[in-house]
Amino acid sequence: MKKLSHLIGRGVKYLTDEDYRFLVNSGKGLCDSMPDEEYLKRMFKAKMGRELDLENPQTFNEKLQWMKIHDRKSIYTTMVDKYAAKKYVADIIGEQYIIPTLGVWDRFEDIDFNALPNQFVLKCTHDSGGLVICKDKSNLDIAAAKEKINRSLKRNFYYSGREWPYKDVKPRIIAEKYMEDTGSQELRDYKFFCFGGQARCYKVDFDRFIEHHANYYDMESHILDFGESAFLPVPGKELSIPKEIDQMAKLAENLSQDIPFLRADFYDVEGKIYFGELTFYLASGFVFFTKENADLKLGEWIRLPDSSGRGGIILILTEVIVWFHPNAKRLGSGLKDYKFYCFDGEMKMVMINSDRKSAGGTRADYFDRQFNYLDFTWGYRHADTPPRKPENFECMIKLAEQLSVGLKHVRVDLYNCDGQIYFGELTFFDGSGFDRIDPIEWDYEIGKWINLSEGDTGQMKV
């Protein structure tokens, strides 16, 4: 009776809960033909309980979903192929970090178990499952292993989370050397979260076969105050961090260059480092963190590339690279532009425009080089809420100053969209010199910044 009641409850939920119905249908493959973007929006809503913002992604999870659709490089398929990735990684960091491969097969029936050592690991090349650990070949249940591996071989890992790099990975079986650390009860791997080639934190799993937990650490090996709900952190747990941690971090950074986000995993086996795997989409971009601000913080570290694919011009200056792009999909109506007032190559203040398309009209706020608020108006009212300092503010200052070298005064306009800097325009006569500045004392103060002495004409250097 209890079982029947449970089945009826699930049936009612299926009929009345749209999100639950989608999860059930997608799990049965009924949504495989759905376009990626529509599928991810539906799945995100069903799993995370909120709408997915792909136009202006902010959180870690949102940006991983955006990357699935827009950041598609063919090499990513090689990087997630558990067999092909070995050569790819070895070519970058060296063969000495690769776990030895004992064999590779297309079918389970082709495996010659007699030729394998007493201990080994079987895994499929095209997904995150299909794992068989053999510690004693005499006790290996070959029938159970075959069922598990064959089930994995029939599955295309791409469809469940639209992790497109897996879509064209050839399903194969590989056997690897069984790795064991005699000095520890479990083999630990260290998962480095790399953003644009920089390792910002790492994760360590422990007690996998008891009650799986995981702690996050910064790059100084201080435990962080968040974790994942699926593998709850234990802040008081004292883990022995290997002395090779810094070397592993450098290897991870070498593997993640020019990639918005990549998790690179390494094992430490009795002081020797071995490569584990590369992951583009942690938990397929459906991560529940123990603290909500962690999703936003990790999201801030991801700098998304442009997706419009319409070319552009790159201007390379000292310490700064700027992309002058004819069209950017994400430059929306809520975009802020930053107008840097420069005098003889020195930035004195910035005007930040906002709400340009709102009913209340454009707003403007002024800040000095240290982002201290300057209380005056110059043609526009202040914003209701003063804008925050962007993370790449110093980078924009450097660019504006290099564009203004040798000029008595020029206003350099830049856009900032998800950490990407876009050039706007150069202006020599703001408001044609007729706009009112209130209070008028600021008109005199800004005037002092312009040096009209003769013989100082200079040349613009780019």
Report mean pLDDT in 10-residue bins for the chain, 462 residues.
76 87 93 94 96 95 96 93 96 97 97 96 85 93 95 92 94 95 79 97 88 94 94 88 96 95 96 96 96 94 67 48 49 68 95 70 88 90 84 89 92 82 90 88 94 60 40
Give me the amino acid identity at 450. Answer: I
pLDDT in tens, 292-350: 899 999 999 999 875 443 344 445 455 454 555 544 444 444 467 899 999 999 999 99
Reported as type and span, the H/E element at residue 77 is helix 75-80
Indicate the pTM of the whole model: 0.66
Cα gap 386→158, rounded to integer Å: 44
How confident is the model at residue 23, as a pLDDT? 92
Cα gap 276→296, rounded to integer Å: 27
Percent of the chain with pLDDT over 70: 88
| Of 340, 332, 346, nearest in space to 425 by CA | 340
- Name the β-bridge partners of 191: 203, 265
Token reading at 9: 């409850």
pLDDT in tens, 112-144: 999 999 999 999 999 876 689 999 999 999 999
How confident is the model at residue 314, as a pLDDT? 46
Given the structure tokens 């029947």, which residue do they identify? 4
In Å, what is the CA distance from 12 to each residue of 7, 19, 30, 48?
9, 13, 19, 21
Cα gap 324→311, rounded to integer Å: 9
